[in-house]
């Protein structure tokens, strides 16, 4: 059922709201469009078309488009501009910068989607902030990041976020800070802490540990440095 009005912004672990949107690639229903394909998707909002920081972000997203595709992850942009503005801006990027934007951009000129997702923030004008939503193939919101309008995003971090979430799902583990280049355990992953005394004793025998509550391991098929 399609959500209307402002409502409450979605939270991590909840289903992404069902919305029908107009995009530069035609009308789409989210998250059904991607659930049907078994795909992850990253929905990201930008303050406005024909602005310098947003232009650099779109070029950066497109330059990593194939890397997202390899992860089975689609990209979807959004701003409160009309679809005509989106189309013209995409044309300008191709003609002036030589980059063809291959992902759809939602035209939210009524502001309906922006209100639903909490993209209009007080004291930041009427444009959307730079939000990022990572949604898994079940349509569950797995991660979200909000940036102020004046700060451009690090697209490599968004790629790392999707890759990390997929690693967590596939291996039943957690990822450390800056994974896969952590200061303590490199590209290894963290074993979830033991919940009882017996498991705590067994953990230190099964894995490499700093203590029973901080154990780690290599992913299958991964080689350590120098191997």
Q: Same domain, yes or no, for 34 and 128?
A: yes
Q: Same domain, yes or no, for 27 and 85?
A: yes
Give the Cα separation of 142 and 103 in Å (integer): 21
* pLDDT score, position 128: 82
Q: Same domain, yes or no, for 25 and 74?
A: yes
| CA-based max dimension of the chain | 64
Domain count, the chain: 2
Give the Cα separation of 53 and 59 in Å (integer): 10
pLDDT, tens digit only, all 227 positions of the chain: 344 445 567 899 999 999 999 999 999 999 999 999 999 999 999 999 999 999 999 999 999 999 999 999 999 999 999 999 999 999 999 999 999 999 999 999 998 998 899 887 766 666 788 999 999 999 999 999 999 888 999 999 999 999 999 999 999 999 999 999 999 999 999 999 899 999 999 999 999 999 999 999 999 876 544 44
Domain ranges, residue 203: 172-217
Q: Same domain, yes or no, for 27 and 59?
A: yes
* pLDDT score, position 123: 67
Q: Same domain, yes or no, for 122 and 63?
A: yes
- Among the listed residues 54, 73, 209, 215, the single catalytic one is 54
215 is catalytic: no
Q: Same domain, yes or no, for 120 and 88?
A: yes
Q: Which two tokens stand for residue 203?
A: 């953990």
Place of tokens 């949107």: 21
């Amino acid at each position: 059922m399609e959500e209307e009005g402002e409502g409450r912004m979605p939270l991590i672990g909840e289903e992404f709201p069902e919305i029908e949107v107009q995009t530069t690639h035609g009308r789409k229903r989210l998250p059904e469009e991607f659930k049907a394909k078994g795909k992850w998707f990253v929905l990201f909002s930008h303050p406005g078309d024909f602005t310098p920081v947003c232009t650099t972000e779109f070029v950066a997203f497109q330059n990593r488009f194939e890397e997202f595709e390899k992860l089975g992850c689609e990209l979807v942009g959004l701003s409160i501009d009309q679809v005509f503005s989106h189309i013209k801006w995409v044309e300008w990027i191709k003609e002036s910068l030589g980059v063809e934007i291959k992902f759809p951009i939602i035209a939210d000129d009524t502001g309906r989607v922006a209100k639903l997702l909490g993209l209009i923030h007080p004291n930041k004008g009427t444009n959307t902030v730079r939000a990022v939503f990572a949604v898994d193939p079940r349509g569950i919101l797995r991660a979200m990041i909000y940036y102020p309008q004046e700060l451009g995003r690090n697209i490599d971090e968004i790629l790392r976020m999707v890759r990390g979430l997929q690693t967590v799902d596939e291996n039943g583990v957690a990822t450390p800070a800056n994974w896969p280049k952590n200061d303590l355990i490199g590209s290894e992953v963290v074993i979830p802490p033991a919940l009882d005394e017996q498991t705590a004793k067994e953990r230190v025998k099964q894995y490499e540990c700093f203590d029973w509550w901080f154990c780690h391991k290599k992913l299958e098929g991964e080689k350590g440095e120098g191997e």
